[in-house]
Amino acid sequence: MRLLAQASSFLLAVLSCEAFGQDGLYIPNREAEPAYSIEDGDITMRIPSERLVLTQAVFRYDTEDKSKFWLELDFTKMADPGDFYIFLIDGAELRGFTVRGEGSNDGGGRWALGFTDPEKGRKLLSKIATIYDLSGEQVLDKTAGEQGDDAN
């Protein structure tokens, strides 16, 4: 029953974020009490969430394997929600992030997503920079101009 409630809550959150165009990273407020409702046999659980503030986005080569890449996102708040988060970009949900520590923000958190296709990583870097309205100094493509396995 708990899994059903979490799944319906997650779906509802995704749909509501899509409906309002609220792209970005959302985590549940663990201090808040979930609200439950039942309608037509469906259980819905609502959990207040917070959109994390992004201060820097970096796309770089893996330190050990230049055929792999990392997109690292530095947020102002440390948050490791495990598998319960929603990161929406253009209505699509991103999964597979790992939390790596505080990054460039004192007390903040760095989320990382791995890539084997550099073009997909660069495209996502650009979309995230637009969604979070980051300046040029806050968006770094450390693969640009470097010799790696993706160089032509």
Is the residue at 146 inside a domain? no
Is the residue at 22 inside a domain? yes
The residue range of the domain holding 49 is 2-141
Is the residue at 86 inside a domain? yes
Is the residue at 114 inside a domain? yes
**What does the pLDDT look like over 67-122, one tens digit per residue?**
999 999 999 988 876 668 889 998 889 888 988 888 888 888 999 999 999 999 99
pTM of the model: 0.76
Whole-Å CA distances, 73 to 15, 42, 92, 95: 24, 36, 18, 14
**What does the pLDDT look like over 113-142, one tens digit per residue?**
999 999 999 999 999 999 999 999 999 999
Is the residue at 151 inside a domain? no
Is the residue at 17 inside a domain? yes
**What does the pLDDT look like over 33-72, one tens digit per residue?**
899 999 999 999 998 999 999 999 999 999 999 999 999 9
Is the residue at 24 inside a domain? yes
Whole-Å CA distances, 58 to 5, 30, 123: 36, 28, 12
Total domain count, the chain: 1
* The three-state (H, E, C) secondary structure of 61-126, written as one string: ECCCCCCCEEEEEEECCCCCCCCCCEEEECCEECCCCEECCCCCCCCCEEEEEEECCHHHHHHHHH
Is the residue at 110 inside a domain? yes
